[in-house]
Amino acid sequence: MDEKNNNMSKHPEYQFLDLIQDILDNGNDKELFLTPEVLAQFEEKGEVKPYIRSVFGRMMRFDLKQGFPLLTTKKVFLKAIVVELLWLLKGSGNIKYLIDNNVHIWDEWGWKKYVEIKKLEGETEFLKLAEYVEKVKTDPEFAEKYADLGPAYPVNWRHFKGEGEREADQIAWIIEGLKKRPYRKSYVVSAWHPVYTYEMARTGESMALPPCHTTFQFNVNDKDELSCALFQRSGDTFLGVPFNIASYALLTMMIAQITGLKLGEFVHFFGDVHVYSNHFEAVKEQLQREPRPFPTMKLNPEITNIDDFKLEDFSIENYNPHPTLKAPITNIGGF
């Protein structure tokens, strides 16, 4: 069998495994810019500060007609993916919805915002992370004030701020456009808002976390198949990228159902894609595993409005992954 045909017949998850191997073999080792608070955490534990090994400019593509791309070489926490996506579509940067649904992947970012606000208020003692999470869960007034990340992904997706009172609901605009003029080339969503990012941000209005998955575009071919292409400026390959693949594949499925289109592909482009040094052993173990067939994702066919989806409207069938692989989340605290 020639190389072209062999690559076409390989399980699509090998794209992910090959990317990990590429990073380990060919990546550049780079220093992480950690805030003093995060550095202190490593020092208190007696741990060496991690670094990243990265490559630049890579791509993967998944045919959504051939199964839902939920990685099988380690178990992926699907509930967190669905709940986070529903949160992204709500248009609010407040993480109470995530905490109420027992999804805690954004807790530290909310807690850091809480600490920042308390410092501005002159406080010197703060709730610990677990105490903060419980307070958000049980005290609505506290959650309203201290659990809002500001102009993060949900806000930029649904309420992208312009001059004055102008704002754009990018998701609603795309859905309406796909229904009326599916073949246009302008169905792009941007989470990257320079006004709220890095040193470009106006004083006091910096984003809690500059977006890693910055821009995505929808496209319809002559078979009325809907595809989505994501550009991700920065990808944590072991922990983050499996979530991103499944999340944007699921978003594509949801929008295809809402607009009456068929399923096409999810195409994933990367800028800097990397593995953290404290993940090396876990990814080496993952590379020893053989991919298993992708599962099937089922959506409630009665849903016709993107805002009506709930957690119970999603079900996964025939997901048989290898066991969970764990590695520490490296919350760099900066950018």
Q: What angle do CA 34, 49, 25 make, to 5 degrees?
A: 105
Is residue 228 among the annotated active site residues?
no
Q: How far apart are CA 195 and CA 186, in angstroms?
A: 22
Residue type, 291: P
Residue 8 gets the label, from left (phi > 0), alpha (psi -120 to 50) or beta, of alpha
* H/E element, 268: strand 262-276
75 and 321 Cβ atoms separated by less than 8 Å: yes
Q: How far apart are CA 181 and CA 173, in angstroms?
A: 11
User: Which of the residues 178, 212, 256, 275 is marked catalytic?
Assistant: 212
Return the SS3 of 251.
helix
Looking at residue 106, the DSSP 8-state letter turns out to be T
Return the SS3 of 77.
coil
Largest CA distance in the chain: 69
Residues labelled as active-site residues: 212
